[in-house]
Amino acid sequence: MEKRNKNGTVKKGVVLNPTGRPKGSLNRTTVELKEAIKKVVDSELSNTKKYLSQLEPKERLDFLVKILPYILPKQNQIEHTAIIEEKQPIIDLSTFSLEELEEMENAYQFDGTMNYDKLSNETLEKIVSLSSSKT
């Protein structure tokens, strides 16, 4: 099987050194550098509180804001919208007396809502019982 193309480059999927470093693994220098940085950070953690107390409040806040992404995972914003259609009960107005209808007319507001505080308890109970029996 031919391992190279006509122009001399290695064909896709062909491995010339099967015993080489696995794909995605870190090289020795990177691993050593990360370990050295970790040692320095670990040794300075005990002094962090002392260093923070020496900073001005604004500098301390700036420092905390800068290191926050390394401590807490970044949160993704989730947006959710829902359309909820509320069925309005149909109430047969012929079941109300003239006084109750006038009372409801006075409680009706310009925005199409009802000010229930203006209704008597009897009228309110009748509205609730009629609307709940229809739904």
Could you read off the pLDDT of 80-109 as tens digits, one per residue? 788 877 777 778 888 888 998 888 888 887
Give domain status of residue 23, yes or no.
no
Give domain status of residue 15, yes or no.
no
Same domain, 64 and 99: no
Is residue 91 within 8 A of residue 130, CB to CB? The reply is yes
Give domain status of residue 78, yes or no.
no
Give domain status of residue 10, yes or no.
no
> How many domains would you assign to the chain?
2
Could you read off the pLDDT of 4-54 as tens digits, one per residue? 888 888 888 888 888 887 778 878 888 888 888 888 888 888 888 888 889
Q: Mapping DSSP to helix (H, G, I), strand (E, B) and coil, where does residue 69 land?
A: helix
Give domain status of residue 85, yes or no.
no
Q: Above 70 in pLDDT, residue 134?
A: no
What is residue 133's predicted lDDT score, i.e. its pLDDT? 64
Give domain status of residue 83, yes or no.
no
Q: Where would I find the H helices in 1-112?
A: 28-54, 57-71, 98-107
d(CA 16, CA 10): 8
| Domain extent for 32 | 28-71
Give domain status of residue 114, yes or no.
yes
| Mean pLDDT (whole number) for 103-119 | 84
